Chains A and B, each alone.
Chain A
Amino acid sequence: MLSIRNLHAAVDGKEILKGIDLEIKPGEVHAIMGPNGSGKSTLSAVLAGNEAYEVTEGEVLLDGENLLDKETEERARDGIFLAFQYPVEIPGVSNLQFLRTAVNAMRVHRGLEELSAVDFMKLAKETTKQVDLDPAFLKRGVNEGFSGGEKKRNEILQALLLEPRLAILDETDSGLDIDALKVVADGVNALRSPERAVLMVTHYQRLLNHIVPDYVHVLAGGKIVKSGGRELALELEERGYGWLGIKDSDEVEAG
């Protein structure tokens, strides 16, 4: 479904991604690990179409079509979903209104009827429970005054409602306590299906205890320096990044 070929990207003239190659097939779960500053968020942002980043070389195909030519909202409607590492607040816009607008935009794109306020409310309430959020969160401004953990669960809530084909999760596990981590992992596992793929960006291996990946890639200095199966994550946990010749300012957390 997604082919990334020799992808280079820069921000403010500085090259961050220096030649990424990655194939993701339907049903697969890929984990991208790597120290801070290695370019994980940059890769996620470039795939989603953040215009702050400039693609300088390479290509990305989604189902054989050039993804990089498309506007952010078109990519989203084609099924690319990004759970943000730092979700932004939109004061005054209720989460409910935001979610309904998004879900209906997708539905229109898919040739489905828009959901009425009542039907959407019902769906949204059920889904908030699934990620252990109080339905009262639907009435609050988008991410307005949410705690770190609530923001992350809100991202998963959006993924569940929007039913993406490829969900990119940028450090959705960071800053979560063990219970919240479990809730997020359950949400992601609920998303898994033979038609869907997940690209999980994480600094730590502990999330991978709950969401077992098919492939693990190590990103360092803007390149994938090693790929393997889930055992690679365990090895990283035990030995840190040092044995791959990578410096990491933070210690890899024991899972």
Chain B
Amino acid sequence: MANTDKQVNELIKREYEHGFVTEIEAETFEPGLNEDIIGRLSAIKKEPQFMLDWRLKAYRRWLEMDEPNWAHVGYPKIDYNAISYYSAPKRKEDMPQSLDDVDPELLKTYEKLGIPLHEREKLAGVAVDAVFDSVSVATTFKEPLAKAGVIFCSISEAIQDYPELVQKYLGSVVPAGDNFFAGLNSAVFSDGTFVYVPKGVRCPMELSTYFRINAANTGQFERTLIIADEGSYVSYLEGCTAPMRDENQLHAAVVELVALDDAQIKYSTVQNWYPGDENGKGGIFNFVTKRGACIGKNSKISWTQVETGSAVTWKYPSCVLRGENSVGEFYSVALTNNYQQADTGTKMVHLGKNTSSTIISKGISAGRSSNAYRGLVKFGPGAEGARNFTQCDSLLIGDQCAAHTFPYIESKNKGAIVEHEATTSKVSDEQMFLCRQRGIDPEQAVSMIVNGFCKEVFKELPMEFAVEAGKLLEVSLEGSVG
């Protein structure tokens, strides 16, 4: 036992590779949160009155809410008045009309991150919306998408160009009063992505948003809204990184998905926010509310997430299965190392007849990290013939980390079927010895074993990103073996 632990205790020495800061002229609000700030934010974005009213209502509600403390994480108290709620790269125009209007420094940033935005070297077959601090800086492949009738733009643009869609669906899945962080986000969200796929359309390419926090002392509060109209299909991926900074930064996003009759939404996340250094200093607080509503019959929403970053993660992508025969899926890999803390899982709320859900959660803990799965499977009185399958596996690397599982089941329907499987295993000395005896480096052995453990989730990711996810795990595990 001693030898794996020793190796494990010595592995993570490589630096966070996205930790650079971009020197860019930015317009940043002074820290602080009040109605005036919200008014200025709304004005800068030239929002219609309904939006300002919505924000202010959310803000007043939020003032009365308490920060949740039930999650299995600990972090210093956040001073919400010490955060700046808006930071945007300065530009000549209010909105870039094309990529030529985008600051070259910004384009370079995204290139460094491996996300080329420039026309000639765009990711093949993937449309990208890039969000830098508080604003969307570029959306690629607009024309072919428009031809298919797909709307893919920043939420700020959507508020101006498609107010009726926004007004109808914003907050319909995650109301402002849902929870403390959702309330805060509703009041101050600065940008994010909007997707609408019309009836019967299969979105011709993967859609992707890339989130980047750059400015110091800035919170990122993005808002994503995806609507899949009847019989449509869309696959969407988000990626996230941030510079290395000693102070913690807050990221409180809200994602809402709406699937109408026979529609399908596949939402994948590769989250690699700066996790803090090996002593637990710095890193992103990732407090996110993600929820999808299968409001139509036979609709389907799948969440796939690979979470390796952030100092503290608090995140439960969920599905409300209202439509008859609707399907919810949650596939998750959450890896924590050093002093990272993650409390993540899902909620599957079965309301409609014959709804079904699948939960596959793979938690990997290394270093002194703590990794908790928290899941709720709920069956309402109308959920006749509903069923859930949950599989929840934990893998420990070393002997100083912790894994916890908190599965909750609430059933108001006797006919509902729940299956739950849970395992906890360790990367064993015997496995390590076998690999090393065959000439394989310890680091490579751990990453191979961990990748094997995650296989069921990786196969759900779009091809291009499955490879990325494997590599990300490898980097995140560095220093866990030595």
Contact = CB atoms under 8 A, between A and B. Distances in A.
A104 to B, nearest CB: 9
A88 B434 contact: yes
Interface in B437-482: 437-442, 444, 448-449, 451-456
A92 B448 CA distance: 9
Given A84-B434, A88-B431, A101 B440 contact: yes
Contact of A93 (B429, B448, B456): B448
B334 to A, nearest CB: 16
Contact of B439 (A50, A87, A90, A102): A102
A87 to B, nearest CB: 7
B437 A90 contact: no
Nearest to A89: B431
B400 interface: no
A82 interface: yes
Contacts of B456: 92
Interface of A is mostly: mixed
B452 A92 contact: yes
B2 to A, nearest CB: 7
Given A51-B2, A52-B429, A72 B437 contact: yes
Contacts of A93: 448-449, 451-452
A51 B434 contact: no
B430 interface: yes
Nearest to B427: A90
> Chain A interface: which size bin?
20 to 34
A158 interface: yes
Contacts of B455: 92
Given A52-B429, A73-B442, A105-B439, A87 B452 contact: no
Contacts of B429: 51-52
Contacts of B428: 88
Residue among B2, B3, B430, B434 with most chain A CB within 10 A: B434
A138 interface: no
Interface residues of B, number: 26
Interface of B is mostly: helix
A73 B444 CA distance: 11
B19 to A, nearest CB: 29
Contacts of A52: 1-3, 429
Nearest to A48: B437
B141 interface: no
Contact of B452 (A71, A72, A81, A91): A91
B121 to A, nearest CB: 27
Interface string A48-71: 111110000000000000000001
A138 B397 CA distance: 26
A90 B434 contact: yes
Given A84-B434, A90-B434, A97-B448, A73 B441 contact: yes
Contact of B437 (A82, A91, A101, A142): A82
Interface in A81-131: 81-82, 84, 87-88, 90-94, 97-98, 101-102, 105-106, 109
B433 interface: yes
Contacts of B2: 51-52
A50 B449 CA distance: 19
A93 B458 CA distance: 13
B436 interface: yes
Contacts of A50: 433
B439 A76 contact: yes
A50 B456 CA distance: 31
A90 B431 contact: yes
A77 interface: yes
A98 B441 CA distance: 12
Contacts of A51: 2-3, 429, 433
Interface string B1-45: 111000000000000000000000000000000000000000000
Contacts of A82: 437
Contact of A73 (B436, B448, B451, B453): B436
5 contacts: A48-B433, A51-B3, A88-B428, A93-B448, A158-B438
Given A51-B3, A90-B434, A90-B452, 14 more contacts: A49-B436, A51-B433, A52-B3, A73-B437, A73-B439, A76-B438, A77-B439, A92-B455, A101-B444, A101-B448, A102-B440, A105-B439, A105-B441, A162-B439
- Lowest 7 A-B CB distances belong to which pairs? A92-B452, A93-B452, A102-B438, A51-B3, A72-B436, A105-B439, A76-B439
